[in-house]
Structure 1
């Protein structure tokens, strides 16, 4: 008995443990022997497809046309490669169509309204991106198809599209691009399958011929019109470009019969505006600053070596900017960017300014080595262009008439100075008047060894007397302008006040006008006065005077001084003439420099005005406007 009781107790414990361990966790469905109704429905739908086939269109009659509604929701613009002209976008494709093989009665299958099936198990429309530029064989990610009980299907796969986009960079970096994504059936024409616009669920329900931007992630480089109108209903959008429906026509020959088939396509258009902030700081502002520095080249003085160096450095800087532009824009385009044309224009102007600066420097230093400015250049540049650039009176030049008048006035002043010097020399070296006149009132006189001369006359080199004139010509020390009587001794002393020759009140000159001077050895010496009643007194006076030799030496000295004065005056005239010529050439160079400055500024301003477009919006082609719905 005891072993049997013990066995019963162990068996009951094991049964309870089995029951406790076999209870399903809370929330887990209890295991049933009946199959899932959804699985039965899916199996039934797939069996029907296996019986009728997946390849053919899902219609009961081949004459029925399948209508596919297609929509495109733009999620993100990944990149626009201007060099390869490829647009990369992240999109969601929206498909809906009617499938006659995927219908069921909801009451028979537990009121199940929708099921999900892999797209590879049923028929799906072969809508492809016509302008694709992708090396991949598949564009869509795997996504199941939602099937409703009435046979309508909904398929929203994700896709990364690479499409071609013709890039127009004429107004770079303020350009606007219009890109197209064209979708259509690859094999079904319009008699077998038609493609039309997606109808969203929002009220009012209407076909949506626009890109859907409801979940769009804005790009840092490109701005779109749709992101500004994402909250507006598609029937109220005005900025976004309306997409169009077209028919591609193909020529086909079937059974020897030529026919044209039409394939419907939907062309979704997106307008992309570049964000120019980055390029403004990288290209535009440096360009403006370098253009301003180029104008400084014309303001530097021609003799400064920085004039050429600055021009070459600016040229290199513009070349670097051009290389940056070449890296940012495609090399094979129909139109070159306007900013690139502006860069090239500045480089051409800098090159010309360098050549012009060389010419200006040459003109600036030309006056020291060459002749005067030609009359044509003087008339055209100095008189003509100089007035235009307000530099005609900056440097006052003497013309030929003024220069000749200046030379004549200088000559007259020098002649007057020479006359004063000669008069002063003659007054300082001529003999003082004496009473060596034998006879009253100009009677004939007698000199030893010479003989008697006519009254009032003396040969050259002999002592003079009041009222005398010279035999054989004018005396070297005589004043110019004709014969002039010598002053009396008393008048001579009173006028010149020579030291040592003042006639005292008891002087023989004051008592006897015939008193003679025996010897004159120079100014400041005391004269020896004698009574000249004998021939010896006259001879001693003539011998001791010694004025024949010094007068000839003085004449030679005066001639030498005159020659040196003429040489100095000629040299000063030549230096002044060269200075005037040099000043005229420098004025010519400065006028040309100022003229080239205004020419450069005018060219740059006109170029900037010509480069600023009226609008950067490209025209939408006719292929994107006229819809064939």
Structure 2
């Protein structure tokens, strides 16, 4: 009984399987699905690896192109360009050809690319840590075996950044594509749609303006192999939008430069000049730090605007140093040596006239030569050699006059003219002593005046020399500003 029951159970199971097969076989399947199943089964039989050609010496022609959708980022520090592109591949696969009449006139199908052969065209200057750069996409196959594959990809390519004219710079980044393993005899590449980057679907960037996007085919031969290796190089030439940097770097730079011009017009002996100079120095240093954050630290060239910041800092430092010297000479000029004649000829007679500073030299002559009758200016070297001129008087006549005046006053008081005045030697000696004291005091007074005038003239000479240097430095700074602006800004109009 048990054997019979097992036989019946097995019969029921077989009957159920037969009914299920009949039911599934009755499901209608489209010709497109049958075609895809047939082609993929055929591909699975022959294998995905290997070029789809009849003869080994045949060359498969692959058309390639890219459509730029968006410039995502340009990392100036790491020199990496990130772009969102549509890659376009087209080639002919004989294993995917069919007769449309056998499949209800189906002429195009979509198949997954992981089950068919596809060219190994990669980005040569790849600069990304990701293992995959493309999104999965189906390939469109025509009945003659023509395959078109348009995957979306995020490319990160290395780009040589030139920041010489930052932020008015124009960058050129190349994207080099080619087969990684096949040579030109096995796989040759051509442009998909003209020698350019397709910009029909490009989304405008907030930072960059695309100026041009040419492309070029290169064929290179390496020393290891005689076979040629073709590649397609796409160049994207774009210019930076400077609206943001005008408010962050350019406008503060112009304002600080104007304020630096006012720094040179302040009196050199004023302490406010040194304080203002140091504040402007710190402001330019802050701008230099902002510039360093936006530029690559290991660049082969420095931006001209950075050199302009450094030039301003150098000139401000020299101006502050010059102001320190002027203040030192102004307040301690009396203890300094006299200005050399060659320096006075160069500064007072040369640059002062060229820069219309004759008023300052006139004041030096006026202050150094005060008009005092009977007084001759004496400098430190001639003080001991030349004595003060003698007083113009006759001591005997003065003595007699003094005695007569004294006698007249006594006679007027007494009314007695019969007795002559007393001309004793004691009175004459006392009078001479007083006159000598007067002469000594007068000589000392005139020497002090002469020494003071000489020191004043010496101080004024050094002060005016410093003023002429300060004015000369002002014109040098003005010329440096004009030259630097002419070197930086014209590039923005290209």
TM-score range for the pair, normalised by the shorter chain length: 0.7 to 0.9
**Cα distance 1:100–1:382, how it changes in 2: closer, same or farther (>3 A)?**
same
Matches within 5 A, 1:440-589: 521=410, 523=412, 525=413, 527-528=415-416, 541-542=419-420, 557-589=434-466
- Corresponding residue number in structure 1 for 2:215: 243
Higher-Rg member (1/2): 1
SS in structure 2 at match of 1:266 = strand
**Cα distance 1:91–1:429, how it changes in 2: closer, same or farther (>3 A)?**
same
1:385 aligns with 2:351: yes
Q: Deviations over 1:429-449 (max 9, x none)?
A: 1545xxxxxxxxxxxxxxxxx
Cα shift at 1:172: 1.2
Matches within 5 A, 1:582-621: 582-611=459-488
2:226 to 260, 264, 268: 260
1:222 aligns with 2:220: no
Cα shift at 1:47: 1.8
Q: TM-score, normalised by structure 2?
A: 0.82
SS in structure 2 at match of 1:521 = helix
Cα shift at 1:183: 1.3
User: Whole-Å Cα distance in 2 between the matches of residues 361 and 39 of structure 1?
Assistant: 96
Q: TM-score, normalised by structure 1?
A: 0.65
Matches within 5 A, 1:84-483: 84-199=78-193, 208-225=194-211, 240-251=212-223, 259-394=225-360, 395-398=362-365, 407=374, 426=402, 429=405, 431=407
Which ranges of structure 1 fall in alignment gaps of 5 or more residues?
1-30, 200-207, 226-239, 253-258, 433-519, 530-537, 618-629
Greater CA drift, 137-146 or 391-400: 391-400
Report if aligned partners of 1:360, 1:592 keep a CA contact under 8 Å in 2.
no
Report if aligned partners of 1:171, 1:616 keep a CA contact under 8 Å in 2.
no
Cα shift at 1:385: 2.5
**Cα distance 1:360–1:397, how it changes in 2: closer, same or farther (>3 A)?**
closer
Considering only aligned residues, what root-mean-square deviation do their CA atoms show, in Å?
A: 3.4
- Corresponding residue number in structure 2 for 1:56: 50
Q: Deviations over 1:312-365 (max 9, x none)?
A: 222222222222222111122222222222222222222222322222223323
SS in structure 2 at match of 1:213 = coil
Q: Deviations over 1:419-460 (max 9, x none)?
A: 9x959964971545xxxxxxxxxxxxxxxxxxxxxxxxxxxx
User: Whole-Å Cα distance in 1 between the matches of residues 454 and 65 of structure 2?
Assistant: 90
User: Whole-Å Cα distance in 2 between the matches of residues 424 and 309 of structure 1?
Assistant: 69
Higher helix proportion, which one? Answer: 2
Cα shift at 1:223: 0.8
SS in structure 2 at match of 1:372 = coil
- Corresponding residue number in structure 1 for 2:40: 46
**Cα distance 1:616–1:62, how it changes in 2: closer, same or farther (>3 A)?**
farther
**Cα distance 1:70–1:371, how it changes in 2: closer, same or farther (>3 A)?**
closer
User: Whole-Å Cα distance in 2 between the matches of residues 284 and 248 of structure 1?
Assistant: 44
- Corresponding residue number in structure 1 for 2:17: none
